[in-house]
Amino acid sequence: MKQATKPEYLPESKLTRLNWGCGAHLAGGWINSDRKQEPGVDLVADIRRGLPLDSDSVDCVVSVHALPELAYPELVPALAELLRVLKPEGALRLVLPDFDRAIDAYRAGDTGYFKVPADEARSIGARFLTHALWFGHSRSLFTLDFAEELLARAGFERIEACPFKRTASPFGRIVELDNRAEESFCVEARKPRPEPRRPLLPYNRGVAGDGIEVVDVAPDPGERVRGHFRVRKGDGRKIEIVGWVLGREVAATEVEVRAEGSVAGRAPVAVERPDVAESFPDVAEAASAGFRLELMAEGSGGSQLEVWAVLEDESREPLGRIAVKATRRGLLDAVRRR
C-alpha cells in the first residue's frame, strides 16, 4: 500500500470521533468506548455484540492496541462493525503492535526491546513471547500486511500505512491518540462512498400502495453449516431476519443476503444465543452464534432473497431463501446491521 500523503484537514468543531477500546486512555472531545465499565468511559459495549451507535454516524475512529484482544474469527466482524458506524468516507486509524519488529528484536538478541520485567521472563524467547502475547491479554498478532488484508475483507478502501502523528485522512485530530511508537505501526482506511442505487426489484407502474409482503421463508442450510432463521415483518416496508448459524468445520463469521446477484445486506454472527449454546454445549462459538439483519424495501414487484453464511475461510454456504413482494419503485437495501 502507498504511504500517507498530506491531506486537506476538515474543521474539527462538529466532527464525531470514536476512541474504541480506550481502556484507561481517555481523550477529551472523543466518545471513549470500552467493554469494561470504568470511570470516564462514555460508551460501555462489547463490539462482538454490536455498538449502540447509528450507522453512518461517526466521522473517524481510532483504536490503539485494542484489536489484539479479539480472537481471529472476531477480527473481520469487529472491523465491519466499525465500518458500519463510520460515515461514508470516514476514516479508521489503527495503532497495532508490530510483530515484525518483535521478531527482528528477538533475532538480534535485543532484550531491551521487550517491555517485560526481568523477574517475569528471563530468557529472550520468554521475553519475546510474553511481550507479544502481553501476559495473555493479546489473542491475535499483527503485521502490517495482515492488518491491510483484514481491513480489505471488512469492506474498507484507501488503506494506507501512516507514520506516527501523520495522517492520510482529512481529520487532523485522528493522530492525537498515537502512542507506543517504538513497538507499533499505524494504518488507516476509509469507508467507501455509497454506490449508486440500482433497482433490484422489478418496477411495475400499475402497482400502487406502500408495503412489503413476505411470500415464503425456506431455511435450507448447506452441508457445512447448521442454522435456522425466521423473518419478522417490521414497521412499514421493513423486514428483520433473525437466526443463528454454526459452521460444522469452519466457524461462521457473517451472514450475507443477496438479491438478484447483488449484496443487499450483511450482519456479523455475534448475537448471544443461550438456547443454541444449550443445544450445542461442545461448540465454543454456540453462545454467540446469533445474527440479526434489518432490510428495507423501496421497490415494486417480487424478489428472491438468498441467505448465505460466510465462513472463516471466506467461503460461503447457503442458509436458505426468502421470497418477498413489495410495491413502489426502488430497491432492497440494508438499513441497519447489528
- Distance linking the first and last C-alpha atoms of the chain: 31
> pTM for the whole thing?
0.58
pLDDT in tens, 133-144: 888 889 999 999
Q: Which one has a higher pLDDT value, 6 or 116?
A: 116
Range 193-220 average pLDDT: 58
pLDDT at 20: 96
Closest CA to 34 of 55, 65, 6, 13: 65
User: How far is residue 180's CA from residue 169's CA, in Å, rounded to a whole number?
Assistant: 21
> How long a stretch of residues is the chain?
338
Domains with residue ranges and CATH for the chain: 17-98+142-190 (3.40.50.150), 212-337 (2.60.40.10)
Q: Is 185 helix (H, G, I), strand (E, B) or coil?
A: strand
* Per-residue cell: 311: 465462513
Single out the residue of 289, 197, 217 nearest to residue 257, CA to CA.
217
Distances (CA, A) of 5 to 8, 120, 145, 167: 10, 42, 19, 7
Residue 201 in this model has a pLDDT that exceeds 50:
no
The arrangement of strands across the sheet holding 301-311 comes to 212-219, 316-326, 301-311, 252-259, 262-268
Contacts of 176 by beta carbon, 8 Å cutoff, 6+ apart: 27
Amino acid at 165: K
